[in-house]
Amino acid sequence: MQIIITEEYPKMSLQAARFIAKKILAKPNLVLALPTGNTPLGLYRELVRMFKEGLIDFSKVTVFNLDEYLGLPPQHPQSFRSYMHKHFWDHVNLRPESCYIP
């Protein structure tokens, strides 16, 4: 495991996004496990920015989210699925059939 220490949240988000982007460039069909919450929001903003600038392509990437609320409908605004759509999935070219949430 690689541990990277930065002084500021924006730098950490950018470093993490660059790390993921390099992995996707090296292996376009990469499989990612993604978290929710406040901590990864900067990461998702950076990945979306990179996508919009044409630096990264998510069309062959598969993503698995780590958790979901039991019994909460997927379209509920507090579901993790809604969170991922709002902050990441709807802004990049991930294929819907390549996005998995428990």
Residue entry with tokens 């990612």: 32
Instruction: Let me know: does 24 contact 56? Beta carbons within 8 Å.
Output: yes
Instruction: Let me know: does 65 contact 36? Beta carbons within 8 Å.
Output: yes
pTM of the full structure: 0.92
Domains of the chain with CATH codes: 9-100 (3.40.50.1360)
As a whole number, the mean pLDDT across the chain is 95
Mean per-residue pLDDT, 64-86:
90
d(CA 93, CA 84): 13
pLDDT in tens, 22-38: 999 999 999 999 999 99
pLDDT in tens, 50-64: 999 999 999 999 999
CA dist 5 → 2, 17, 19, 35, 45 (Å):
10, 14, 13, 19, 20
Q: Ramachandran region of residue 53, left (φ > 0), alpha (ψ -120 to 50) or beta? A: alpha
